[in-house]
Amino acid sequence: MVLNIDIIEGEDAIAIANEIYNLRISSWKPFIDDEIKLNRFTFDNFDSSGCHVCIRNDGHELIAASRLCVIYEGETLPDEISFSLVKDKMTFPAIFLNRSVVHPLYRGNNLWELMINKRLELANTLDAREIWIETCANRKAHLINDGFKVIGPSQDKEIAGDWFLLRKILSGD
């Protein structure tokens, strides 16, 4: 399988907003109801200001996407409900890795890991103090190997399963 991995941002991200949204919906469809999909996975301000790692197959179909946002002190956090109890532990500017989705037909091909690695490479070039991510239980070990520490459980209970908040310090502290 030939993969094309790109970092998309700004106007380019807005141009593929529908593709990203449709991938999010099809990826989460088996796990959440329509109301949650509309509230959680629409294209938002963080999508237009953040960076997206997009993976396309050899037919140029978008098969995986994820987002990186740099947030400064006092700004609203992406997925704020998840991080509400740990916001006071954050050092800004902070990077948030979120909205990772892989098309159901392409799961099990390490695309999530490719997107994490690409976003971590990008994060190391940005002026930020730390990286935050919310992840499910089966993804924790990979992130811990990358230097993340588990901070605690997510406060968001809309999506079933055990979800955790992890942080990686880039500088300071």
| Strands of the sheet with 4-9, listed across from one edge | 4-9, 51-56, 62-71, 94-102, 130-136, 163-169, 149-153
The verdict on pTM exceeding 0.85 is yes
What b/e readout covers 36-56, taking b as 16+ CB neighbours within 10 angstroms? Answer: ebeebbebeebbeebbbbbbb
The predicted-structure confidence for 48-68, as pLDDT tens digits, reads as follows 899 999 999 999 999 999 999
pLDDT surpasses 90 at 34: no
Mean of pLDDT values over 68-85: 91
The predicted-structure confidence for 139-150, as pLDDT tens digits, reads as follows 999 999 999 999
**pLDDT of amino acid 42:** 74
Q: Which domains, ranges and CATH numbers included, belong to the chain?
A: 4-169 (3.40.630.30)
Instruction: Give the pair of three-digit tokens for residue 21.
Output: 């949204």
Mean of pLDDT values over 9-13: 90
